[in-house]
Each structure stands twice: as C-alpha cells, then as structure tokens.
With several copies, the nearest count.
Chain A
C-alpha cells in the first residue's frame, strides 16, 4: 500500500469508520442541519442539544465513505462541550490540515486527516460533517417537540 494511501486511511480513521461515535438521531436535539455532497450523493445530518451557548450533546447520521464517516464521528467527539466560535476555530484548523497536510502539534486528534490533502477530491468528504455542524449551530432552535419530527 502506498504511503499516500496509508496516510489517508490512518488507524484512527479506520477505527472511527468501523465504530462511529455519537451516531444516530438525538431525541433531545434542539438544533439540526443537513449536509449534502452533491458530487457523490453522500449525506450527513448533525443533531445538537445546546445548553446555552455550549453543545451539550451532539450526534450525526448519514451515509458516506470511510473518510466522511470517520470525520463526522471525530468531529462530534471534538465539538461536544464547545461553543459555536470554538467549533468554528476548530474547523478552521481542520480545514487547514486537510488542504495543506500540515497539522500543528496541539490538535493532534484532527491530524489524522492530514493525508486527505493528497486526495483533493476527498476534501469535500472530510468536511461534510463539519459543514453540517456549523449549519446546525447557525440554525434556528427547533420547536420543543417529540422525536418524530426528525424522521
């Protein structure tokens, strides 16, 4: 397997792909947004329960390749407990990593995605979940409701 491919499919990515964290709908969500990758038809929904300015709970749902699934999964673990501006700042780091391949030391978890930069067509896969999360943060709060409206 080539160095590029090994870089792309790091162990942490494979792990998140096989055992996605925070996957599925969030019954208590008060924010939700949906992202599409029109190029390939991949989809990702992100559910948030905001507690004031902070993300108290987060989950994602959808379908896509290993990169997009692992990225969404890792994103949920990173975003939990953070505020909107904090998630925004994280995304900026993440975007730099997947487009340049350079990962600063302090955000080592996201660094697993540095290999994406050798596969420009996959950048959209890696950012799909993040885009949905940022959209959800910007979205209007859901009316208090039961789970069913999310179907």
Chain B
C-alpha cells in the first residue's frame, strides 16, 4: 500500500543523478513517472499471463482477458462511468479525440453547424476539430481567454453568445497544460447540454491530478492518457456515454470488432469492442488499472491539495525573479500544479539547458499551444509542472537554477 510518507521511494526513476545532481523532475505536464507497482504489473503480465484476449479459451488467454476487462472495469470506477462498456482503450488523449472527431463528426456535422472550442486548447484538441470542420463544412469557433497573459480565464460572458443552438459539439480542456487554468467543466457541460451540444472534455492534465466523476460533470465524451497519470505510454481512454457510443460507427475496423464478416461486408459488435479493432494494448491497459489503484490509495483529493500547495509556493518564489512574466492565473488565484513563465532576454531553451545542468528537468517551447502563444506575443515559455512526488525543496532547486541562468545571461 502506497503512503504519502515515502511516496518518492515508490518511483525508481527519481533516485538518479543528472549531471552529478539529484534529479528534480518538473516535467510532469509532459509525462508522469511510474511507481514500482505499475512497472511490476507489466513484468507480471509478460512473465505469467501474456496471451491474446477475447478469442482464447486456454488458461493464459482467459487470465489475460480477465485482467484486461478487469482494467476496463477499474477505470470505469476511477471516473465513475455508469458502465465499463463506456471505456474505450486508445493510445492516448490524441487518439481518443481523433476518434470522436472522425466518427461522431462524420455522422453529425454538416454545413452551418458550429463546433465550439476555446483559445487555450492543446493542438490535440484543436487540429482534429479543424479537420472535422473542414471535412463537414461546419464552422469552428473559439471561446476567448481573457487578459494579456490569460490570467482572466475563459470568457464566460462570451460563452452565452457563442453557445447557440447551431453549436453541435463543444470541446474544451479540463485543465490548461500551458496556463494551469482549471476550467469549470461541469458548468460548461450544463450550458452545452442546454443548447443540445455534445461535450468533449480533454482531461489529459486533470485525470491524474484531481478527482474526476464523468457523471457529476455531465460529460458526453472524456479523453485522457495513461502516461500522464502514472500509467505506461501507449494507452489511453475515450470515455463515451453509452447512449452515444451505441449509435456511433466504428473508426478503425478489423479483427475483434466484427460480428459477421462476408466477402461483401461486415457487421459490428457493440461498444466497447466496436471501437477496439485489432489486438489491443493488453499489458499497458492492465498496468493502467494498477495506476488507478495507486492514485486512489494516495487519494486524488490529496494529490490535488499537494499540487495546489506546490503551485502556490512556486508562484510566490518565482514572482521574486527579476523580469519574470508568468502566464495564467495570478499569484493567489486558483491554478493547477504547473507554472509557465518567460523572460524578455533569456529564451526558454537556454533556461531548460541551464536547469538541466543543475539536474532540474523543465520543458521549454510552445507546449503544443502555438496560437495561444502567438496571442500573448510569445513564441515559447518555460514550464515547471508538479506531481505527487515533488517537494518544496525542489522548488528551491528550480529557483536557484533560474537565478544562476539569469545571472549568466542578464548579469543580475
């Protein structure tokens, strides 16, 4: 059983030196590290149970199938889905969103329709909608973000104007990977439902960081990645409300998702199989279920609280750096456990390289958020993103690394 007392001991990767300094991993917005239990689940699967699922009647195949479907049920419980059949395994958030954009988009979007999204979306929740709009002749509109640095959050007044009955689908992020803004997702879902629009929530940044109840949110589709919630790479989930999935055509086709195939055509299985053509990523799905166990043992509300403390401390300490420009919510305002910032005279890449020398892993760039950067007059920021194993001491290491970099480049 994991415990907050020695959470860092659960993560083998943290106990290494980078350039002779203990690693400070602050790139959790890109991907989270994996606890021993998740790594062990992979090893256990490949050493004991590995087999193809669904179509097998021998012992290994039954074990693999039980574990795979058990993971599906575990994840359904993790997000309080009403039915495990609402959990579709994908490669990650990006594929989940593409699946909806294509299958749902092709069936429902037509010229004159509006797809609504926001100005703060990750490319993965933006470009697929551009493509779906283009393919269908629908129009893509953006809910604006307020403030020169996005500190005002999304424009709720504009939402009233934008959410017309022409809006067929509203896709928005739950937590911004660049600003750290937490979006009032339940309210957005409620307002979208009022005009009959289907909602798609990009939960990539929230899934591992805060309790998430798809029924309480009232969401139609929710997309997330395993690798950002202590699970392996290569596995993710599309949650869809059963009533919608039951009417949705498959995206990919092939083995495992068909009932009857002739040389003339094929018929489809019900959800979730209909959306999982081919041999699934069995091992990683199982390990994702174990990641859910791990996070729930610590308590997602505690993880959220831990993140919030680190964000507050980081905001306070970073604000003291000369010339820093922090984007997203202001000091004291609610934000998730990440901080993006820029300096006029030092480029993010140089900062990341210098910080790396001090063992501090940061991300510098546009964070798959180019249009938003451009809106702020930036081309890149540096981002520090926290998770359950980070500490306040690590924030001091971050600030020291930044001071050293500033001294080198700016001389202050």
Contact = CB atoms under 8 A, between A and B. Distances in A.
B243 interface: no
A40 B365 contact: yes
Contact of B349 (A1, A2, A125): A125
Contacts of B380: 40-42
Contacts of B54: 39
Interface in B46-91: 54-57, 61-62, 65-66
B258 interface: yes
A65 B349 contact: yes
Interface in A35-66: 36, 38-43, 63-66
Contact of A40 (B65, B269, B349): B349
Interface stretch (A106-114, A116-124, A141-149): A116-124
A5 B370 contact: no
A5 B62 contact: no
A5 B55 contact: no
B392 interface: no
A136 interface: no
Nearest to A2: B357
A121 B379 contact: no
A1 B56 CA distance: 21
Given A65-B350, A119-B353, A43 B409 contact: no
A41 B373 contact: yes
B357 A40 contact: no
A17 to B, nearest CB: 8
Interface string A1-42: 110110011000010000000000000000000001011111
A97 interface: no
A36 B366 CA distance: 13
Contact of A63 (B258, B353, B357, B379): B379
Task: Name which of A39, A41, A65, A66 has the most chain B CB atoms within 10 A of its CB.
Answer: A41
A64 B347 contact: yes
Contacts of A1: 357, 408
Q: What class of interface size applies to chain B in its complex with A?
A: 20 to 34
A66 B350 contact: yes
A49 B356 CA distance: 41
Interface residues of A, number: 25
Nearest to A17: B409
Nearest to B373: A41
B20 to A, nearest CB: 8
A2 B354 CA distance: 10
Contacts of A38: 258-260, 269, 273
Contacts of B269: 38
B62 A36 contact: no
B347 A122 contact: no
A41 B379 contact: yes
Contacts of B373: 41
Contacts of B260: 36, 38
23 contacts: A1-B357, A2-B19, A5-B353, A5-B357, A9-B350, A36-B259, A38-B260, A39-B365, A40-B55, A42-B380, A43-B379, A63-B347, A65-B347, A65-B348, A65-B349, A66-B346, A66-B349, A66-B409, A67-B350, A121-B56, A121-B61, A122-B57, A125-B349
Interface of B: 19, 54-57, 61-62, 65-66, 258-260, 269, 273, 346-350, 353-354, 357, 364-366, 370, 373, 379-380, 408-409
Given A4-B357, A64-B379, A67-B350, 8 more contacts: A5-B353, A5-B354, A36-B259, A40-B55, A41-B380, A43-B379, A119-B57, A125-B349
Q: Which 3 A-B pairs have the closest CB atoms?
A: A65-B349, A65-B347, A41-B366
